């Protein structure tokens, strides 16, 4: 696709029309809950995470409480999200780091977030964009990974290089929305196994369209 930047702008414009209210689907009331929920969402649906976190946050509403929790009890609560032992280590490690290094507050910079247990770039971008309104990058989850390649916005396969490609194509002010918009479109229309090209707002220019 020759004019990839122009196509990227069109993608953003059409997704904004389709999903003007696109936002993070993880239920949370503060940056700490968002960070924990995002870690739990790895290899798990947001819907499942939202079924698990009410009990988790009721029992451990603060970083201090989670840092001092019984790991076996945390594992029991988050079991349904999969990889529950590793996720328990990550969220409890996150909580301890927030207590020890950040006075129980979630930091607001990329470097500080990436230094926390369980926080990779995708999670950091979610926290910065959703909790603090800071556009430091584009969230690249499984939906964004799939759609950005299908739409011809990148040929890359590594999430970090996909993110860099998207950041070059799209103005900073659209970075946060682009992640949300592609995720919503991936869930509602452009499914992994059977994309609904016949009702896709991007089908007329999508290089992968079967419409």
- Give CA–CA dist 209/198, Å, rounded: 9
Residue 58 makes CB contacts below 8 A (sequence gap 6+) with none
Are 39 and 123 in contact by the 8 Å Cβ rule? The answer is yes
H-assigned helices in 45-203: 46-59, 63-67, 71-78, 84-102, 110-114, 121-126, 132, 142-150, 159-169, 175-188
Please tell me which residue in 46, 87, 122, 174 is annotated as part of the active site.
Answer: 122
Q: Is 17 annotated in the active site? A: no
Question: To the nearest 5 percent, what fractions of the chain are helix, strand and coil?
Answer: 60, 0, 40
Say if CB 87 and CB 35 are below 8 A apart: no
**CA dist., res. 112 & res. 185, Å (int):** 31
Known catalytic membership, residue 2: no
Active-site pick, 21, 87, 134, 141: 141
Furthest C-alpha separation in the chain: 56
Sign of CA dihedral 58, 64, 67, 70: negative
**Residue positions annotated with a catalytic role:** 122, 141
């Amino acid at each position: 696709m020759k004019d990839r930047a122009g196509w990227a702008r069109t993608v953003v414009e059409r997704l904004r029309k389709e999903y003007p209210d696109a936002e993070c689907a993880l239920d949370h009331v503060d940056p700490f809950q968002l960070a924990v929920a995002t870690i739990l969402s790895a290899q798990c649906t947001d819907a499942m995470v939202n079924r698990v976190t009410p009990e988790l946050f009721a029992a451990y509403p603060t970083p201090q409480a989670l840092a001092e929790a019984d790991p076996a009890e945390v594992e029991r609560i988050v079991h349904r999200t999969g990889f529950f032992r590793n996720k328990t280590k990550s969220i409890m490690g996150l909580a301890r780091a927030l207590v020890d290094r950040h006075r129980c507050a979630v930091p607001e910079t990329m470097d500080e977030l990436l230094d926390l247990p369980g926080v990779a770039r995708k999670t950091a971008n979610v926290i910065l964009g959703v909790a603090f309104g800071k556009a430091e990058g584009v969230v690249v989850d499984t939906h964004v990974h799939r759609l950005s390649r299908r739409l011809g916005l990148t040929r890359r396969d590594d999430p970090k290089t996909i993110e860099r490609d998207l950041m070059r194509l799209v103005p900073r002010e659209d970075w946060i929305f682009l992640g949300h918009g592609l995720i919503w479109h991936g869930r509602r229309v452009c499914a992994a196994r059977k994309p609904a090209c016949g009702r896709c707002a991007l089908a007329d220019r999508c290089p992968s369209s079967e419409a």
